[in-house]
Amino acid sequence: MLKYEGVDTDFSLNGKTAVITGGAAGIGYATAKFFHEKGVNIVLADLNPKVDEIAKQLGDNCIGVAGNVCDGEYPSRVIEAAVKAFGRIDILVNSAGIVALESAEVISAEYWRRTIDINLSASFFMAQAVGKYMIDNGVSGSIVNMASQAGVIALDKHVAYCASKGGIIAMTKVLAMEWGKYGIRVNAVSPTVVLTELGHKAWDGSVGDAFKKEMPSERFAEPEEIAACIAFLCSKGAGMITGHNLLVDGGYTIK
């Protein structure tokens, strides 16, 4: 059951422990920084072999666990490291992901499977492992899955990406339905273009300018804005929010 525990007007997360996949860069790293400022113990799960060094730069209460999210043993290693370092896991943020830009008629089986494996399958198996840990240990935790506006609308040359993110949204709803009785909330965040390092490379210039003209906001999102939404969903302020897909798209999908 999702118990009412009051509303903390500061949306504090102090003392919680969060696992963040894809945490060494982009939205994942921005979320880690935001969480750290909120007093959260951080476990960065990332393919980058220097992820532990990156984590230590955030603070003493941060560790990194290098590995491939598609490796079947990886979720267990992450959970073991988190519990050993901090005693528990309260939050999972599934932020690891890739984009394969190919037209539907030419996309290769390799690109299709890789996109689905990393974006959807790996997110599910990490959520499954952390969710089971929370259930077995009586933790009323929060899971946030990184979806996308591409999960609710069609985007040209994004067939695999749209499919994977649409799957994330559907998966989120099922997990929320099944795990609410254990006090576990599961939500998704669906950003528009986010100005990470990769976002700048892909969208700076005329193509990005044209895209922004179609958005009521007339601008793209900053990583910190997505991190703030994730933090809210993990806080007591969102205690009655589960199974929700929060669009952070500057109004792009309302048309």
Contact 57, 33 (CB under 8 A): no
161 tagged catalytic: yes
From the list 29, 74, 133, 161, the catalytic residue is: 161
Contacts of 38 (CB under 8 A, 6+ apart): 11, 12, 13, 14, 231
Q: Which two tokens stand for residue 101?
A: 């830009």
Sheet (strand 245-248) strand order? 62-66, 41-46, 17-21, 91-94, 142-146, 185-191, 245-248
The residue assigned the tokens 């730069």 is 57
Contact 17, 90 (CB under 8 A): yes
Beta-strand relationship, 17-21 and 142-146: unpaired
The residue assigned the tokens 């069609």 is 154
Contacts of 218 (CB under 8 A, 6+ apart): 212, 250
Catalytic sites, residue numbers: 161
